Amino acid sequence: MKLVLRDLLFIFCAAQTIGVRIQSDPASSGGVIQTELKTTVSLLCQPEGSAETETDEELVWLRNGVMVSLKDDNKIGRSSVCVTPVIYEDNEATFTCHLSNNATRRASITLNVTYPPELSGSAEVSVEDSADLILNCDIWANPPVSSVLWTLNGSEVDLVAGRFTVSNDGFTGRLSSTGIERSLHEGVYQCTVVSPMYGTFSKYFQVTVTEKTIKFPLMPMIAGIVVVCLTSLLAVVARWRTFVKCFKSCKN
Ligand SMILES: *[C@@H]1O[C@H](CO)[C@@H](O)[C@H](O)[C@H]1NC(C)=O
Ligand SMILES: *[C@@H]1O[C@H](CO)[C@@H](O)[C@H](O)[C@H]1NC(C)=O
Ligand SMILES: *[C@@H]1O[C@H](CO)[C@@H](O)[C@H](O)[C@H]1NC(C)=O
């Protein structure tokens, strides 16, 4: 009795659900493959269900909805795709495999490419007295960084005393201040970023405040000269027009 029931169930399944299945290396979990930059991800798609009758099914791969071109011998019965090396743009890329004659029989898998923030080394920054100071730190990472901290000479920057503004758009952490003064703003700045996955990263900035130089306002003067020339030119053209008009009317 038990046996009959199982056989019936098998026949039912074979007739009903003939989908496709994706196997991957590294293995996926919940439809997501965890991977890192410069690694390799291999994907293999096969029809599932009643394997015997479906092995000559043609398969199609899509990456974010765009068809992946496959060699002819990599389409029938089973089809593999290799992502190598994994790049930033592969993060959240979805690979879908389906039967070429029935797109509803499909399976998908998404990549989660993790990478640390690219932050290291030091920079020398020289800013004129009274000018603006802007320091940037690249904080783009997956998973996103959990904190960005700015210090000056080893202590957390005093936002009020230094008239500092701190911003963070997910790509760049920025510390800025306007109208800087040597006594308040010169020193060693450091941005320290914490990645929940990759740890702590820092970058140093040696900021020097220099004497203000008096700049000769060259650009406004050039603009002034150009305007004067243009005006005289237009005046000449206008007068020439009246002259021609006058000349013509005289002739007639
Ligand atoms: C495609 O597959 C679905 C689900 O297996 C099935 O319901 C549908 O009838 C199939 N369509 C064609 C055109 O074979
Ligand atoms: C990607 O993996 C990281 C690290 O495991 C995790 O924190 C993050 O939530 C994952 N992102 C997605 C979209 O699954
Ligand atoms: C930071 O330290 C340097 C060197 O000791 C010093 O010249 C500078 O004034 C300090 N900056 C501030 C804002 O205290």
State the sign of the Cα–Cα–Cα–Cα dihedral 141, 145, 150, 154: negative
16 pLDDT above the threshold of 50: no
For residue 95, the cross-strand partners are 63, 109
Calculate how far, in angstroms, residue 96's C-alpha sits from the geometric centre of ligand 2: 20
Calculate how far, in angstroms, residue 201's C-alpha sits from the geometric centre of ligand 3: 23
8 pLDDT above the threshold of 50: no
Q: Which domain holds residue 135?
A: 122-210
131 pLDDT above the threshold of 60: yes
The pLDDT > 70 percentage for the chain reads 75
Confidence of residue 125 (pLDDT cuts 50, 70, 90): very high
pLDDT attached to residue 219: 66
Cβ partners under 8 Å of residue 94, min gap 6: 63, 64, 65, 108, 109, 110, 111
Do 25 and 97 share a domain, yes or no? yes
Span 18-41, mean pLDDT? 95
pLDDT attached to residue 213: 82
Q: Does residue 53 sit within a domain?
A: yes
Question: Which of 114, 133, 153 is the last residue before a domain boundary?
Answer: 114
Q: Give the CA diameter of the chain.
A: 120
Residue at 37: amino acid letter? L
Do 102 and 130 share a domain, yes or no? no
Cα distance between residue 203 and residue 192, in whole Å: 7
- Pocket flag, ligand 3, residue 153 (CB < 6 Å): yes
Rg (the chain; Cα; Å): 34
Do 109 and 13 share a domain, yes or no? yes
Span 136-158, mean pLDDT? 97
Question: Which of 114, 134, 158 is the last residue before a domain boundary?
Answer: 114
Do 55 and 140 share a domain, yes or no? no
pLDDT attached to residue 34: 98
Do 105 and 204 share a domain, yes or no? no
Identify which has the larger pLDDT, 204 or 13.
204
